[in-house]
Chain A
Amino acid sequence: MTDFVEQCRGEWKRLGVPDPLAEEMAEDLASDLREAEAEGVSAEELLGSSFFDPPSFAATWAAERGIVPTSAVPGHVRHRPLVLVAFTALAAITLIVSALLLATGEPKLSLATTRTSPAGSSRAVVHNVSAATPVEWILLLLALVALAFAVWLWTSSGRRRPTAHA
């Protein structure tokens, strides 16, 4: 019984549940378990399947009270915002495309083109010459920055500490 409550305490501490709230929940739980035990009711009977997974029980309780976000509950599937997924995919595609374009020869896109014709030629032969800052390089740079930003967003949302507001 004590072990169950202690495991709950540990989980609440890990989740950042404020000490007074964690202490209140632990005391209530311990008192109920003690009373149940005195009446011949086991902790398993009182808590059902939760008895076998104290961390999940503790996290669910805290989440239902609104003390920690629901995403803190083990097994909770975190739904990433669709916008973040789309942004990451777009950045990755841009990176790959611009890298491929650069790898397959000289840049084929440019911000400006210069038309030149060989001197003394009787027929006007026009060549497109890449400008100094080809679009591929700009896209590559932008894609790298966007990907770095996306990685930061993904990791920061995964590490975000719960905030207590109860």
Chain B
Amino acid sequence: MHRMASESRRSQLLRGVLDLCLLAVMDEGPAYGYEMTKRLGERGLAIVGEGSIYPLLGRLERDGLVETYRAASNGGPPRKYYRPSSAGRLALALGVSEWRAARDAVDAVLAPVKVEVA
């Protein structure tokens, strides 16, 4: 019960910033879908349960926040690579600023709470 509620909260928190996370990992270097999932996973951000990144990548593409191109990947079939457009980089910068402000405000509220896990 507690676990389900926790996963639901995590899912909701992540939903609001997943686009920023995607823009951030592709800003490190162009990446295709699964590659981005791996980069997020390496930082402990598993997408399992949150749906998939594909619709979100589609939205970023529709909004002109990413540029795409097709290229072969390590001898495999051609893949669709994503990288932030100039508008995407601006959105990332603004989004990170908003995230930090929100995180600091929430931290200020939650910091005094003493956590005791039985």
- Name A's B-contacting residues (CB within 8 A): 24-25, 27-29, 31-32, 35-36, 45-50, 57, 60-66, 166
Q: Is the interface of B mostly helix, strand, loop or mixed?
A: mixed
List the A residue with the shortest CB-CB distance to B41.
A41
- Name B's A-contacting residues (CB within 8 A): 32-34, 37, 47-52, 54-56, 58-59, 61-62, 73, 76-77, 79-80
User: Does A48 lie within 8 Å of B80, measured CB to CB?
Assistant: no
- In Å, the complex CA distance between A61 and B80 comes to 15
- In Å, the complex CA distance between A65 and B59 comes to 5
Q: Is the interface of A mostly helix, strand, loop or mixed?
A: helix
When distances are taken between beta carbons in the complex, the residues of chain A under 8 Å from B48 are 45, 48
List the B residue with the shortest CB-CB distance to A30.
B77
- In Å, the complex CA distance between A35 and B34 comes to 8
List the A residue with the shortest CB-CB distance to B47.
A48
User: Does A48 lie within 8 Å of B50, measured CB to CB?
Assistant: yes
When distances are taken between beta carbons in the complex, the residues of chain B under 8 Å from A64 are 55-56, 58-59, 62
15 new A-B pairs (CB below 8 Å) besides A36-B37, A50-B51? A24-B80, A27-B77, A28-B32, A28-B33, A28-B79, A32-B34, A48-B49, A48-B51, A57-B52, A61-B58, A64-B55, A64-B58, A64-B59, A65-B62, A166-B62
